Amino acid sequence: MHGLLGQPTWEQPKCVATSSVACRADQGNTIKANEYMDSPDVLRAKMTLVADLIKKSKCLTAYTGAGLSKASGISDYATKATNSVVAGPKIASPFDAEPTYSHLILAALEREGYLKHYVQQNHDGLPQKAGFPQRKINEIHGAWYDPSNPVVKFSGSLRSDLFGWMQEMEQKV
């Protein structure tokens, strides 16, 4: 329930928003798009574990998707619960979105020398707006702000150079 390093004594996450719809039914997924939240004590314990793992890492790599930008007001594909607890600001355009705390933390981890590489599945440019250097980010599915890296449709193919870069980093970690 809490991963390999979790404690069996930890309280189970509570379901805070329910959905009768699968999160990615278009991909054959039947898992309901319910939302869960840890208690503050369990979350604190998990973050202590994460901090220890980050300090021990030799080549920390972040691999993020749509959920990271949800709190900025950019919609995602998986959130289906009508009573979702993941609310973001109302924005006129996704181009108006501002980085989330998560983007700011990832940029800070890079500045402090911990985060070496970032594979971003989003197109939104929020890591760069947060201060993450372009040279360390692999926008594997394309980017809104980079004409040389057009957004890849779901049915499309990934750029071979970016895919190769991602595989190279996989070997390092």
CA atoms of 80 and 152, how far apart (whole Å) = 23
Paired with 137 in beta bridges are 118
Point out the residues that are catalytic.
141
13: left (phi over 0), alpha (psi -120 to 50) or beta: beta
As a whole number of angstroms, the distance between CA 46 and CA 51 comes to 9
64 neighbors 76 (Cβ within 8 angstroms): no
Short-list 40, 33, 29, 7, CA closest to 19: 33
